Amino acid sequence: MIDYLSAAWAALSIAEAAGVSLAIAYVVLAIRQNILCWAAALASALIFMTVFHAALLYLQAALQIFYAAMAVYGWHQWRYAGDRGTGVSVHTWKMARHVRVVAGIAAVTLLVGWVMSRTDAPFPYVEALVTVAAIVTTFMMARKVLEAWIYWLAIDSISINLYLAMDLYLTALLFTFYLVLSVLGFLRWRRDYLAGAA
């Protein structure tokens, strides 16, 4: 663990550190359902766009454009959407919808991975899976779908290995932290969902 942290510190760039800090702020604020999470998400996305492009993770860089747009969408959803225009509340999806979503993620991942395999991207299918799944899951977060946190657990686990392979140690450490936050986020949102359903 000490070697891992030393390697992360040595490879640290100012941009990556800023992106990581803002990304942590996003997740912590999202767990608390604080609308400011979307401002942190926007800033983090803009920074990580440059970090990932420099690391030749093109889909991850492009994903940041989507995250920036979703930050605006998420802000709007949390502020104005919902039954009374007061923002969305935590809700769940039926299992059949999740099956369709996962099948869609798999199909699009194969297509995007095949396209990316024609570039110099080092792990085209892994990066495609992380990217496609993150797009869907970010939409779920903006809509406050409880199970989004479970999707993040899978995405974060895969991402850790991708970032370690690309020597993005601090980003891998961030996603390790995200695993813990995803569990906490699920528990907090589930509590709020059950309280709202009562």
What mean pLDDT do residues 76-85 have?
Answer: 79
Rounded to 10°, the helix 169-197/2-10 angle is 110
Q: Please state the pTM of the whole predicted model.
A: 0.83
Q: Given pLDDT bands bounded at 50, 70 and 90, which one contains residue 13? A: confident
Q: Inform me whether the pLDDT recorded for 12 exceeds 60.
A: no
Q: Inform me whether the pLDDT recorded for 22 exceeds 90.
A: yes
- Quote the CA–CA distance of 120 and 170 in Å, as a whole number: 23
146-159 pLDDT, tens digit per residue, is 999 999 999 999 99
Q: Can you give the pLDDT at residue 9?
A: 54
Q: Can you give the pLDDT at residue 11?
A: 53
Rg, the chain, Cα only? 17
Contacts of 127 (CB under 8 A, 6+ apart): 57, 58, 59, 60, 113, 116, 121, 162
Query: Which residue in the block uniquely carries the two structure tokens 């686990």?
Result: 157
Bridge partners (DSSP) listed for residue 91: 145
